Amino acid sequence: MQRLWKWIKRSFVLGTLVLVAVVCFGAAYQAIASRFDWNAFPPPGRRIDVGGYRLHLYCQGRGNPTIVVSPGVGVWSLQWSKIQGVLAQDTRICTYDRGGYGWSDPGVSTPTAHQAADELHVLLERAGEHGPYVLVGESYGGYVTRLFVEKYHPDVAAVVLVESAHERQWDEFPRAKALALQAQQQLTVGRWLSRIGFFRFLPMDSGDDLSPAVRRALIATQARTQTFVAFRNEVGGAFVSAQQAGGTHSLGDLPLVVVSASHSFNKFFPADDPQTEAMNEKWMRLQDELVRLSTNSVQMVNETATHAIAREQPGFVIAAVEKALQLAVPHKTELKKPPLTS
């Protein structure tokens, strides 16, 4: 019995030493690899101070009006590369990274869509970009877009909501809310795993649908600890952001294109689950409410895509943005007409 006890103690000590060694090695590897990444994958755009920290803004192409993309939670400029590359051939398009994502510095600890809308306005202003813009809001970015319009309406020529989050979705979909709360816990664990380089070997997003160069940059940027912190913080602020979006007014006659995926929740839950089908049907009813935000709106429904439509069906999203550009031109001209004189 005494030998057994000694063996257990020795095994525990040895296991502890091995664990400490792995953690120390992983932390050193992560620090060295992160430093290497900044040199190997420099930001494609500009890092601009928005008030004590810098956000990354990447603009391509020439034309007017400029398209500005506000991505979903856990998404940054890289994941929109295929769409941006196509649209930049005919006009100007800007994507950006909210605080902590991509090449942006960590932002505020409790981010909300209201704060993100203000940040975006400052970012565009300090970058020397000029509106009115065609704003594209993906998922959570839909909250940001609606709040941007609410505060800076003259700077907006048209809006595209791509599978936009709805202010009542957390009440309408308890399973989705539970999944978001679970994601917060998982991202807390992910933050610590990222400190030892875990996600350099098992990335959350493989980027297999992207070009090899973009894929390598995506894996490198998402492996940073600040990515998981930013992701977790935005998920935590999503419920407050929903309330903020719910307090906005209608868009009036501002051109609006709503892009909806009829199988949205298949991204998160089993497609053959009857509950998933019911959630998809209810989701489409909420999307219809978004269409009614403007008296000058168009809805484009994709019958095969899920909530990840921007990655699954980039051509469909490109067509929606091009539709918004068509609607924005006469609307923008109307705004610029001089007042009638007697």
Nearest residue to 293 via CA among 245, 331, 325: 245
Percent of the chain with pLDDT over 90: 72
On whether residue 13 sits in a domain, the answer given is: no
pLDDT in tens, 110-132: 899 999 999 999 999 999 999 89
Cis ω before 65 (30° cut-off from 0): yes
Indicate whether 327 pLDDT > 80.
yes
Nearest residue to 162 via CA among 139, 140, 178: 139
On whether residue 86 sits in a domain, the answer given is: yes
Nearest residue to 71 via CA among 142, 146, 169: 142
On whether residue 76 sits in a domain, the answer given is: yes
In angstroms, rounded to a whole number, what is the distance separating the alpha carbons of residues 30 and 193? 10
Instruction: Tell me which of 164 and 8 has the higher pLDDT.
Output: 164
CATH number for the domain harbouring residue 126:
3.40.50.1820
On whether residue 314 sits in a domain, the answer given is: yes
Name the helix (H) or strand (E) containing 56. strand 54-60
End-to-end CA distance of the chain: 106
Nearest residue to 136 via CA among 84, 58, 85, 69: 69
The reported pLDDT for the residue numbered 110 is: 80
On whether residue 23 sits in a domain, the answer given is: no
- The count of structural domains within the chain is 1
The reported pLDDT for the residue numbered 32 is: 56
In angstroms, rounded to a whole number, what is the distance separating the alpha carbons of residues 164 and 137? 7
pLDDT in tens, 170-194: 999 999 999 999 988 888 887 777 7
pLDDT in tens, 246-279: 999 999 999 999 999 999 999 999 999 999 999 9
Q: In what order do the strands lie in the sheet with 256-261?
A: 46-49, 54-60, 93-97, 67-70, 133-138, 156-162, 256-261, 297-302
Beta partners for 68? 94, 135
On whether residue 341 sits in a domain, the answer given is: no
On whether residue 233 sits in a domain, the answer given is: yes
Mean pLDDT in the chain?
87
**Which residues have CB under 8 Å from 266's CB, separation 6+?**
276, 280, 306
Indicate whether 23 pLDDT > 60.
no
Indicate whether 298 pLDDT > 70.
yes
On whether residue 80 sits in a domain, the answer given is: yes
Neighbours of 146 (CB within 10 A): 28
The whole-model pTM stands at 0.88
Domain containing residue 155? 41-334
- The DSSP string of 102-145 is TTSPP--SS--HHHHHHHHHHHHHHHT--S-EEEEEETHHHHHH
